[in-house]
DNA sequence: CGTTCTTTTGACGATCATCAAGTCCCGTGG
DNA sequence: CCACGGGACTTGATGATCGTCAAAAGAACG
């Protein structure tokens, strides 16, 4: 699989204007001793059948209601997965980062339940639908890895529902920031400072809050000295205190 | 697999006090022409390695934080899957009915994230953890079926987050009732009248509402002539109008 | 038949959504 | 290079939904 380890042909030119924390996310190569995580999953799922799909910021990678044509593994970039309710309200189920698998929910029904928007230039591997059944039947490692990806996704969903079901606005935002920081850190970036790829409205939609409430909470975190947000730049000053918000009601 | 089709040895005596809608859920045998759904999944996953696990109402089948020892497929009964937040708040991620698979989220980490309480006498098949990897590697049908179960679960999670993130109290309760009715219907029961297995507090915890709000909404549905609830008995009078609640804001 | 849990209903209050206005930021075009 | 325009963000005022507290009726269980 040496070609899979080839230098990042699809990565954009680095360092736009020397941003404070240039966490343009490109998936690092897997390390042998790594525990099985999102990174490794992506590399293991990569098979000769894999195609590469790219799109630009603002583009729609997948549309809810369309036929399932394959799983996508994010190689570089960030996107949002949007679900639409019967009354037209939109909810962002999750933001997906490099190494994560998209389209899992469509495998059973054959139809996508989410619309996926690229929040920045996006590069994915696609595993064609018509290959998946055969791979599952004959490639045990593929099956194990796919099941593992599913299990990680299920755990994320549980935490997401816990957040939406029980937390206050402050807890939700703190939880969101800590989660992002952790995921960036796992990808090899700073866990303290990073660039948000989404708008306040996106964050609100994900957390079940209004744009204004997100903005207010971020302001309050600044006055409390826990996290500084300036536009899309975020810097976490006191991770311990942020985690403490999750422990106490407020 | 004829022994798997044996008459329901573990089903309790039917018809407790001639309840109006005795939907004590026992999984029906699979039909050959059935599309792949929860029922079929359970039967396909059943392998010689399967053990049977039973517990009584109120018992805890799985405890969050304990080691993953195997997947459970519900054969008969109903249970609730509880997630606990860092601050101690509890949220019911889902209620599981016969044919559904429990413990999927623990497959990756090896540790359960949910505590599973039986809401009535429960009978499950357990697929031991130490067999799963081997089955995935060598039994293509098992892998396909497990992936299918995961995908269904992912879809359910998406809808759950949509509900928690965007819906009003009325929409949540209507959505919950319609979902239950649909799932019972798929199991071969009436889609109009059924017995709830959980308390108002459980419903509230699942929907992100307080006990009192659930009670109030049910009362309102009664005065509106949409659904009659008397204790644990529910009768849906106007499914169309209930569905319409989901379309309009209220 | 009493004890305990569940459910219902009411009154009140807090959190958060909505509406509104103003500022900032960034891309675009002159 | 600067001005312009539009979207993103912030902050304030107001109000509605829903949570909390409370009390009482009802159901389940021993």
The per-residue pLDDT for range B31-48, each reduced to its tens digit, is 433 344 556 666 667 666
Distance from residue B32 (CA) to nucleotide D8 (C1'), in Å?
56
Residue A249's pLDDT is what?
73
- A130 phi and psi, to 5 degrees? -70, -10
Question: With 0-12 CB in 10 A as exposed, 13-18 as middle and 19+ as buried, what is B74?
Answer: buried
- Percent of the residues in chain A that have a pLDDT greater than 70, as a whole number: 80
Which residues, listed in sequence order, are joined to residue B234 by a DSSP beta bridge?
B194, B229
Convert the pLDDT of each residue in A213-243 to its tens digit: 999 999 999 999 999 999 999 999 999 999 9
> B193 is written with which tokens?
């009248």
Min distance B105 CA to chain A CA atoms (Å): 5
**Which residue of chain A comes nearest to B85, CA vs CA?**
A162
Q: How far is CA A225 from the centre of its chain?
A: 27
Footprint of strand C on the protein (CB under 7 A): A 168-170, 204, 208-210, 212-213, 230-231, 250; B 199-201, 211-212, 214-216, 218-219, 229, 231-232
Check residue B249 and give its pLDDT. 73
Q: What is the CATH number of domain A27-165?
A: 2.60.120.10
At B51 the pLDDT is: 87
pLDDT at A16 over 50: no
CA neighbor of A43 nearest in space, from A6, A9, A7, A73 = A73
CATH class of the structural domain B23-165: mainly beta
CB within 8 Å: A140 and B136: yes
Pick from A107, A126, A149, A36: nearest CA to B145: A107
Alpha carbon distances (Å) from A142 to A148, B155, B165, B174, B208: 10, 22, 34, 40, 37
Number of neighbours of residue B185 by Cβ within 10 angstroms: 14
The secondary structure of residue B36, as a DSSP letter, is: S
Closest Cα of chain B to A165: distance in Å?
Answer: 4
pTM score, two decimals? 0.88
User: Domain A169-247 carries which CATH code?
Assistant: 1.10.10.10
Same fold yes or no, A27-165 and A169-247:
no
C-alpha to C-alpha distance for B166 and B174, rounded to whole angstroms: 14
* pLDDT at residue A15, as a whole number: 36
Give the mean pLDDT of A107-129: 95
Domain boundaries, chain A: 27-165, 169-247
* Element spanning A95, H or E: strand A90-96
A141-144 long-range contacts, Cβ below 8 Å, gap at least 24? A141/A44, A141/B137, A142/A44, A142/A45, A142/A47, A143/B136, A143/B137, A143/B140, A143/B143, A143/B147, A144/B133, A144/B136, A144/B137
Return the nearest residue to D26, CA–C1': B231
Instruction: Please give the DSSP secondary-structure letter assigned to residue A189.
Output: S
| Average pLDDT of chain A to the nearest whole number | 86
Q: What share of chain B is helix, strand, coil (3-state, %, to 5)?
A: 40, 20, 35
* Residue ranges for chain B with pLDDT beneath 70: 1-44, 46-48
Tell me the pLDDT tens digit for each residue of A165-175.
Answer: 999 999 999 99
């Amino acid at each position: 699989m040496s070609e899979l380890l080839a230098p990042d042909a699809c990565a954009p030119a680095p360092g736009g204007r020397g941003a404070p924390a240039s966490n343009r996310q490109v998936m690092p190569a897997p390390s042998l001793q790594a525990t099985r995580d999102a990174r490794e999953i992506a590399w293991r799922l990569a098979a000769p059948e894999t195609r590469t799909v790219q799109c630009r910021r603002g583009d729609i990678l997948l549309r809810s209601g369309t036929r399932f044509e394959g799983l996508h593994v994010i190689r570089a970039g960030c996107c949002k997965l949007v679900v639409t309710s019967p009354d037209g309200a939109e909810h962002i189920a999750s933001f997906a980062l490099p190494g994560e698998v998209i389209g899992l929910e469509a495998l059973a029904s054959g139809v996508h339940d989410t619309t996926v928007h690229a929040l920045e230039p996006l590069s994915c591997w696609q595993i064609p639908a018509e290959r998946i059944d055969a791979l599952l039947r004959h490639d045990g490692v593929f099956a194990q890895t796919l099941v593992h990806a599913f299990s990680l996704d299920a755990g994320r969903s549980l935490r997401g529902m816990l957040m939406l079901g029980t937390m206050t606005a402050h807890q939700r935002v703190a939880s969101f920031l800590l989660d992002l920081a952790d995921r960036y850190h796992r990808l090899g970036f700073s866990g303290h400072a990073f660039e948000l790829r989404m708008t306040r409205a996106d964050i609100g939609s994900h957390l079940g809050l209004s744009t204004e409430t997100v903005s207010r909470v971020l302001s309050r975190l600044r006055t409390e000295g826990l996290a500084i947000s300036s536009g899309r730049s975020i810097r976490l000053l006191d991770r311990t205190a942020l985690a403490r918000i999750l422990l106490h009601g407020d």
